[in-house]
Structure 1
Amino acid sequence: MTTNTRSTTNVNAAAVATFLIFGMNGLVFASWAARIPAVTEALSLTSGQMGTLLLCTAVGSLLALPSAGWVVGRIGTANTVRVAGIVAGAAGAAIAFSLMAASVPGTAVALFFFGIGIGLWDVAQNIEGADVEHRLKRTIMPQFHAAFSGGAFLGALIGAGLSQLGVGLPEHLLVIAAIAVTLALTVPKYFLPHEVEEIHDGGAAAEKGPTAWRDGRTLLIGVVVLGATLTEGAGNDWIAKAAVDGLGASESTGALLFALFVLAMTVMRFLGGKAIDKFGRVNVLRASMAAAAVGLALFVFAGNVILAGVGAALWGIGAALAFPMGMSAAADDPKHAAARVSVVSTIGYIAFLAGPPLLGYLGDHTGIHLALLAIGAPILLALLLAGVAKPLPPK
């Protein structure tokens, strides 16, 4: 009885710690994303040039993601989050100083290292979250991602408020960087105690390849998650800018539309676990992708801020659950959960980070508002492939 109680206490503490780490990750990301229009103005960049800067973040993460499972296998999820937090925090400070100097090259280099930190952080928190969900034996991954969305919503509101007050982005980023490093160093001490030994096996499997990277179901889940994360990433990076360019909205109004998108995601992720348990993972995934498609179309073709807000909210509802459901699907087999979560996370974050910069290039020709329609294709592909997320039968 004592052992069981202690084990339950450890898992619950790990769940709270994981929730906080997801939330801080969202706050850090949104503190940057919500004020992209300010960066564009401060550095006198076009949408395509801004896309190049965003691509620097993507390149950093894409270099970090394939090795993230190996890193977690060597030092554990807790230490990986600590390292990632230090890297992301230092990069955030470097972004701030580069903006003060109006240095595009300096900002680009800082964003590259920011991408490395965020990439390591994302994979580690998802592996920890999948382990916690497995041990709790109930759907909780959407709530972890709700914490990310909640942190992003808070970051967007802070960004909108500081923009309205005339507070510069550099000062904003310096404070956020300090908070991020502090939490990343302290909170992971409550993570589950066996992650190094357990995930090391998964990391080795992922390194050798046959278990995860050659598993057909895992790769198809990755394609579904790719479509879902492109949907989420495009909204995170471009809703504020598209509102300013396409609707003639102010920077603060654009940030508020982004906040509405994130709020819708947050609420849906908090409620999504019960919906998944009631209607099934595949049905909820299909409904999510359909809602994202309708919301995207409404946002793009809306002629006023009110309709655009409705579209942004529906878009956020649709984008909310697909990624956490993909993580849960990848972790259905506990023996290979770490390696497969790492693979699906890597595929998903390729779209999340690399897709939005490419939309920026397209936006130079069509306007970023219309360029967003390009994500309709991967949304439909994810809708068609949703059946691969069906839970595996118990062994």
Structure 2
Amino acid sequence: METSVVQPVVLKRAARLSIAAFFFIAGLCFASWASRIPDIKLRLKLSDGGLGAVLFALPVGLMISLPFSGWLVHRFGSRTMLLLSAVIYPVILSTIGLVQETWHLVVVLFGFGFMGNLYNIAVNTQAVSLEALFGRSIMASFHGIWSLAGFTGASIGTLMINLHLAPFTHFCIITGTALLLISLLYRNTLQQDINADTDRPLFAKPDATLLKLGLIAMCCMVCEGAMFDWSGVYFQKVVEAPKGLIPLGYTAFMSTMAGGRFLGDRLVMRLGVLRMLQLSGLVIACGLAIAISFPAIVTATLGFMLVGIGVSSVVPLVYSLAGKSTVFSPGVALAAVSTIGYLGFLAGPPLIGFIAEAASLRWSLAFIAVLGFTTTIIASKTKF
């Protein structure tokens, strides 16, 4: 009897370690690519505008893959799709280092975005199923691993640049490491998804709950996109920080977002999902309000730290709730919520630019603060 009790616990822990490793691989691959964008830009002799146009191929591939990803995970299971995407994703990364023409990069980035999203849906479906087995919140910690991998990938990229290694060599090292981890840990992933009922609809209008979850994700991802693309500009133009401190706002945001994800599961268990989402939106709005009202280095940094804390648990919670849908399978539900969420991630940064052009960057962030607080409002009107 004692052995039969211990064995499932050991298996769950092994599965958690394996799924965490797959989240790490995803973050490592993406950060590795991002760290060498300037080198690729220089090799292809792209202007800033040309690079922006080329980079758009990645989110286009991501968006186009969303309905297919949900169907594939539903049809063949998250385990199969995770192995497929986790192998192909780093392989595509290595081919980025070989591109010699602009159109080559466009094609490869489209595939990188397409396969990256299939990877995202599959690994989050695995995480949702494992969370059901644990019977408590563990999703935020997986997303924390992804954030940690982002820091690791950026650090390795800096090292590779200082060692004067070509992007292809760098990417091959990352690919080899990823494939080794996959070969060692894949056997411990979950074989069966929760709610994997083949009779559930594949293509249907999201129900009210999924729609609201998608809107919460969209509001949060607009805030994330704003921090990714505009925090440095805000510190440069509004805060007027010294050159060496311009990245401080982005670093503060990323640090607290990653840290918040590792603490998020404990807070969810203590506060509950509804209260956590409500507080998250409030913290986002307060953080941006501080940065807008007091645009000095210390206060703006503090404000961006609060924004990082606020956004840290929202997307993991939304994914966890979507995966428990009683109407759709986890893969389809996650794809539906991701589609709405990523619309905000893509539309947010240019929208900020338009508002900044018409008024000012501070007004842009004020608009983002309102969207952050909208997370609280929508959560308050949703039954979980």
Q: TM-score, normalised by structure 2?
A: 0.83
Q: Which has the higher helix share?
A: 1
In 2, distance between residues paired with 1:90 and 1:389?
41
- Answer whether contact 1:87 1:113 (CA < 8 A) is retained: no
- The structure that has the greater radius of gyration is 2
Question: Does 2:10 match 1:15?
Answer: no
Identical aligned pairs, as a percentage? Answer: 26
The structure-2 alpha-carbon separation of the partners of 1:309 and 1:159, relative to structure 1 and needing over 3 Å to count, comes to: farther
Question: Does 2:272 match 1:280?
Answer: yes
- Answer whether contact 1:96 1:170 (CA < 8 A) is retained: yes
Which of 360, 374, 384 lines up with 1:381 in the alignment?
374
In 2, distance between residues paired with 1:38 and 1:298?
36
Q: Deviations over 1:90-138 (max 9, x none)?
A: 332232223xx4x433222221111011101111111111111111111
What SS class does the counterpart of residue 207 from structure 1 fall into? coil
* Aligned residue pair count: 379
Which of 317, 322, 325 lines up with 1:330 in the alignment?
322
Q: What does 1:53-202 align with in structure 2 at a 5 Å threshold?
A: 53-98=54-99, 101=100, 103-160=101-158, 171-195=169-193, 200-201=196-197
One-letter amino acid of the counterpart of residue 372, structure 2:
I
Once the 2 structures are TM-superposed, how far is the Cα of residue 293 of structure 1 from its aligned partner? 3.0
In 1, distance between residues paired with 2:360 and 2:152?
25
Once the 2 structures are TM-superposed, how far is the Cα of residue 278 of structure 1 from its aligned partner? 1.8
- Answer whether contact 1:329 1:389 (CA < 8 A) is retained: no
Once the 2 structures are TM-superposed, how far is the Cα of residue 292 of structure 1 from its aligned partner? 2.2
Once the 2 structures are TM-superposed, how far is the Cα of residue 309 of structure 1 from its aligned partner? 3.6
Comparing 255-264 with 338-347, greater Cα deviation is found at 255-264
The structure-2 alpha-carbon separation of the partners of 1:14 and 1:265, relative to structure 1 and needing over 3 Å to count, comes to: same
- Answer whether contact 1:84 1:121 (CA < 8 A) is retained: yes
Q: TM-score, normalised by structure 1?
A: 0.81
The structure-2 alpha-carbon separation of the partners of 1:79 and 1:29, relative to structure 1 and needing over 3 Å to count, comes to: same
One-letter amino acid of the counterpart of residue 201, structure 1:
D
The structure-2 alpha-carbon separation of the partners of 1:245 and 1:83, relative to structure 1 and needing over 3 Å to count, comes to: farther
Q: Deviations over 1:316-359 (max 9, x none)?
A: 1111010111122223456745142332233323433x236635
Once the 2 structures are TM-superposed, how far is the Cα of residue 167 of structure 1 from its aligned partner? 5.9
Once the 2 structures are TM-superposed, how far is the Cα of residue 152 of structure 1 from its aligned partner? 1.5
One-letter amino acid of the counterpart of residue 65, structure 2:
A
- Answer whether contact 2:220 2:375 (CA < 8 A) is retained: yes
In 2, distance between residues paired with 1:155 and 1:323?
22
Which of 306, 315, 325 lines up with 1:314 in the alignment?
306
Q: What does 1:193-342 align with in structure 2 at a 5 Å threshold?
A: 193-195=191-193, 200-201=196-197, 205-209=200-204, 213-237=205-229, 239=231, 258-296=250-288, 306-333=298-325, 336=328, 338=330, 339-342=332-335
In 1, distance between residues paired with 2:85 and 2:145?
18
In 2, distance between residues paired with 1:111 and 1:256?
29
The structure-2 alpha-carbon separation of the partners of 1:286 and 1:167, relative to structure 1 and needing over 3 Å to count, comes to: farther
